[in-house]
């Protein structure tokens, strides 16, 4: 599987302010080594949650 993923992998270098939206059901994602500091914010969505509902993942 690793060989198949490496054949179709796309590498993207993000810039501050970039926004990435993807479906965990339709893609495989990961990252390589991180050098230096990084700051990442995440937001999760689901079609199974009523619109306007806020769920805090750390509670």
pLDDT tens for each residue of the chain, 59 residues long: 889 888 888 888 888 888 888 777 777 777 778 888 888 777 777 777 676 677 676 65
Decide: helix, strand or coil at residue 6: helix
H helix or E strand, kind and range, residue 8: helix 2-8
Domain ranges of the chain: 1-26
pTM score of the predicted model:
0.43
| CA–CA separation, 27 and 54 (whole Å) | 25
């Amino acid at each position: 599987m690793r060989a198949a993923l490496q054949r179709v992998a796309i590498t993207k270098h993000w810039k501050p302010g970039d926004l990435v939206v993807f479906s965990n059901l339709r893609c495989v994602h990961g990252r390589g080594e991180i050098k230096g500091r990084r700051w990442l914010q995440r937001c999760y969505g689901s079609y199974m949650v009523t619109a306007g509902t806020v769920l805090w993942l750390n509670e």
